[in-house]
Amino acid sequence: MVETRRDKVFLLVYMLIKLALTILVATAKVERAFSAMHIAKNRLRNRMGDQWMNDNLVAYIEKDVFADVENEDIIDMFQKMKTRRC
């Protein structure tokens, strides 16, 4: 459709096809997020705050992105941080 430029003529049909193809991916990602949240909340028994849980869930859900980060880089980042105790 794009190669023949019919996506400009049949704009609504093109948008419907695009929505139908992306809804499966979007739904799977949301289900994965809720599944991860269910696992984390059961294990920690609701002891964590919202921001900390959000940070942990992002790291858990996006494992493939964080797999490329080396452990030494993370250790160096934490060593360079200032302590929070007064």
- pLDDT attached to residue 32: 77
Which pLDDT score, from 0 to 100, does residue 28 have? 73
Q: Which residue positions in the chain have pLDDT lower than 50? A: none
pLDDT, position 56: 75
- Rounded to two decimals, what is the model's pTM? 0.38
Per-residue H/E/C for the chain: CCCCCHHHHCHHHHHHHHHHHHHHHHHHHHHHHHHHHHHHHHHHCCCCCHHHHHHHHHHHHCHHHHCCCCHHHHHHHHHHCCCCCC
Identify the pLDDT of residue 13: 84
